[in-house]
Structure 1
């Protein structure tokens, strides 16, 4: 990892480097002990009372005793991946937010409080993309009270793993008693290769609305979508729904949703009936939606996928999608707990 200078391991970081991307090497058991070297790369989010905390790209927070540190240095931002389109985190954060809009929203400085009756964490979490305009303690208390007034748990959506993401905020949330409840990844790709897939799209029907048949297949609705769900699904700059009809009297064999927003096309809710998997239906849905997005002038694609969904990761990887950043939903402490400021 290039730590050595003249054959010696060198520690070139201090607590003044909090907020920078670093690479460190530590010895389990401390210096002088018999153990193994471990290397960690990420954002140095805290260094206090003899302990360093480094947040990795995945969002994992690593605790390292200063006494075990044998080498450390500042490293440049991770290079952009060459497979997908160039994209900054702020741009993608705004695009993904517009594709999944809440029923109600309110500004807190540059933060956005979002609510939709509890339908998905994305539509019921604060999006903290800048300065809330008040001290963080007060901002988090305001967030929690805003959601409490609506009978909802308080969530904050953060991101790690790309330049300009929010590793420091993740550390602050944890210090205030918030915990990471779920994580996923945002992947990006060039749109044309997705649209050029050799897929049978003749059976894919495209519509501007999510009808009852589409909703009957959608997992989150359980076949009975409420008004909040319908409003979130319908909102966005240019929204398309794809349906592959099922048998007579049966829900669709496959569905999908795409939101076109300038150069971006976002794909979500791609679902296939269990008995119809491995027939290429998901690829057909993606291809049909991608072709429509190309017609509207889009050139880049994004989607969100859970890190342990190996089947989806393999399919999207074959289409050219590559990870851009990870996003996380932190849940706040219950009202009246000791963490409230």
Structure 2
């Protein structure tokens, strides 16, 4: 389970919340409600206090920052049984799905040369924001998606417009991949695969060797794509909420 803890911590580093407060090895995160990952307590490791007390701190932190109390819990981890015993339940109504896969794979397996219409840069284009979040991103969206030590914004352009987008963040030797999106009228043209190949090359150039992706279990199209690129399921996590929230 130790490698799971390390991977989850790196994924959290790659997805910076507006507020990220440690509670022992847990991380209390808030970002004005933008994404479950940035607005839930990462429960890997030891919180340093009994789990019921830690969950009470999660509830207090959530109230302080105007978000719903939620816990990001690795399936099968020691914290899972303790969270359930404390009266919390799986958030089956979570917009992105209650359960997600964390998939990993070697970058060299799908890295491809750059081409004129596929680019990864350190500055997001306006069209990137439109696909990855919204045309006029909020402060929280800008913080989560555009901050961090090494972030790349991948785009595919056609006719001067962004038709596909992705975000990559390098943490050590890990490339965290997120917000892969293709405009509806440009799907089934292989753009996601080409974009992923360019992002892999970008990551390799910056010292990454492995990629990690967090994808909802119901997103079969994305899971199929990532498997075809050589990625496999590493573990799963679920969001839990208090019965009183």
Tell me whether the two structures share a fold, i.e. TM-score over 0.5.
yes
- 3-state secondary structure, aligned to 1:253: strand
Q: Separation in 2 of the partners of 1:310 and 1:127? A: 25
Is the 8 Å Cα contact of residues 117 and 158 (structure 2) preserved in structure 1?
no
Partner Cα distance (1:107, 1:295) in 2? 32
- Runs of 4 or more, structure 1, over 4 Å off, are none
* 2:198 is equivalent to residue 282 of structure 1: no
Mapping of 1:216-255 within 5 angstroms?
216-218=130-132, 221-247=133-159, 252-255=162-165
Structure 2 counterpart of 1:210: 124
Cα offset for 1:242? Answer: 0.8
8 Å CA contact 1:207, 1:241 repeated in 2: yes
Identify which of structures 1 and 2 has the higher relative contact order when contacts are C-alpha pairs closer than 8 Å and 6+ apart: 2
**Counterpart for residue 72 of structure 2:** 157
Aligned length: 239
User: Equivalents in 1 of 2:223, 2:25: separation in Å?
Assistant: 33
CA distance in 1, matches of 2:205, 2:50: 46
Gaps of 5+ in 2: 92-97
2:167 counterpart of 1:257: yes
1:253 to partner: Cα distance: 0.6
Backbone CA RMSD of aligned residues: 1.9
What residue is the counterpart of 2:34 in the other structure? 119
Deviates more, 1:316-325 or 1:173-182: 173-182
User: Does the residue aligned with 2:194 lie in a helix, a strand or coil?
Assistant: helix
**Structure-2 residue corresponding to 1:39:** none
Structure 1 unaligned blocks of 5 or more: 1-76, 78-86, 336-341
Q: SS of the counterpart of 2:110?
A: helix
Q: State the match for 1:98 in structure 2.
A: 13
In structure 2, C-alpha distance between the alignment counterparts of 1:247 and 1:91, rounded to whole Å: 42
CA contact (8 A) 2:173 2:208 kept: yes
Which residue in the other structure is 1:190 paired with? 106
Q: CA deviation at 1:276?
A: 0.7
Report the TM-score, using the length of structure 1 for normalisation. Answer: 0.66
Could you tell me how far 1:303 is from its partner in structure 2? 0.9
The TM-score with structure 2 as length reference comes to 0.90
